Amino acid sequence: MKTILLIEDDRKITMAIGMRLRSMGYEVATAADAVTAIAQARKANPDVIILDINLPGGDGFIVAERLQSLMQTSATPIIFITASKQENLKIRARELGAVAFLEKPFDATALADAIESALVTGPLDAVVG
């Protein structure tokens, strides 16, 4: 079973997306802040990481850089999610090699597509749309 690490500080979003992911047949690990995220990444050894950009204790980009420097998650595909409309975020996400960038609210199809393409293409040659 594939494992997804969901890093998101909003408890309800974590609950909702978590339910969705489990219904899709994924194992779900969660973290609500930057520090826990790193610990969970080490422990859960995820196949895909879903990462919120606005996080307490360091934004999602910093967390992404940390994750990419960890041995377990150095090549794990990252899907960024955000409720923010700032234009530069998408560019940063692309620079960090994210496989997808989803604006909240997003529907389950978009999430499923992003995860599937993450599992297929991996992080290196994928491009954020």
Partner 1 sequence: MEPALKTPTDAIDLSATMADEVIRVLLIDDDPAYRHLCQRYLSKPDGPAIELECAANASEGILQCQTQHFDCLLIDYTLPETSGTQMYMTLAGMLNQFAPPAIILTADGGQAAATEAVRAGASDFIPKHSVSAKLLSTAILKVVETNKLKRSVEKRSVALQSVNEKLRAKNDQIQRFYQGVSHEVKTPLAAAREFIAIVVDGIAGEVNEQQAEVLTHALDSCDQIAAHFNDLIEMTRLDSEKVTMNRKVGSLNGAVLRSVASVTSAVEAKCITLRQEIESPLPLVLIDTNRIIQVLANLLGNAVKYTQPGGEITLTVKSDIDSSSLRISVTDTGCGIAEENLPQVFERLFQVENGGDGMMGAGLGLGLSIAKEIVSLHDGKIWAESTLGEGSTFAFELPIAKSIFDLAETKV
Binding site for partner 1 (CB under 8 A): 10, 12-13, 15-17, 19-20, 23, 54, 83-86, 104-108
By beta-carbon proximity to partner 1, the closer residue of 64 and 81 is 81
**Cα 12–13–16 angle (5° rounding)?**
85
Q: Which residue type is seen at 31?
A: A
Q: How far is the CB of 115 from partner 1 (least distance, A)?
A: 15
Tokens (6 digits) for 2: 């594939």
Return d(Cα 60, Cα 51) in angstroms, integer. Answer: 6
Nearest approach in angstroms of CB 45 to partner 1 is 26
For partner 1, the closer CB: 21 or 118 = 21
Q: Is the peptide bond before 77 cis (omega within 30 degrees of 0)?
A: no
If the CB atoms of residues 20 and 66 are measured against partner 1, the closer one turns out to be 20
